[in-house]
Copies of this chain bind each other. A is one copy, B any other.
Amino acid sequence: MTPDQYLSAESLEKEMALLMRLLEALNRRRNYPLERSHYLLLLQVQAEAKKINDLAAILALDATTVTRQVTAMQLNGLVTKESDPSDRRITWVTSTEKGRTLASEMREIRIHRINEMFKEWTPQDKDTFSKMLGRCNESLYNRLAEM
């Protein structure tokens, strides 16, 4: 590692740890219509039904955790689940109308807040940041897949 590489990694390390801390703090103080984990799951099943195993891969969770989440969400009327008629081991999850409504309310609130947060940024900077976050997320997916 050259001194330059070390320096930039050092500052990335600090900023990423801080970002996570601040986002946690912000989420704790906000009243959202849904838990964040339920929201993320609902976003995935809004347009079409998905299999538990595919949801686990997308959300970087194990199938047991997703199954537990889906059961809790079903009790809250947010999703429905159905066994695959050709293979009972496969479970399909779909959003209910209530799930769709609450997810879209939550999304509107989040988008409004993000606009507030980034209001001093130029559209170009927002675009660059969003693309870099996307790249960073891709690397994180790869790291998780290697573990």
Contact = CB atoms under 8 A, between A and B. Distances in A.
B139 A9 contact: no
Copies in the complex: 2
Interface residues of A, number: 61
A140 B118 CA distance: 10
Classify the interface of chain A: helix, strand, loop or mixed: helix
A48 interface: no
A18 B115 CA distance: 17
A13 to B, nearest CB: 5
Interface string A1-29: 10011101111111111111111111001
Contacts of A77: none
Interface stretch (A80-88, A94-102, A119-127): A119-127
Interface string A90-115: 00000000000000000100110111
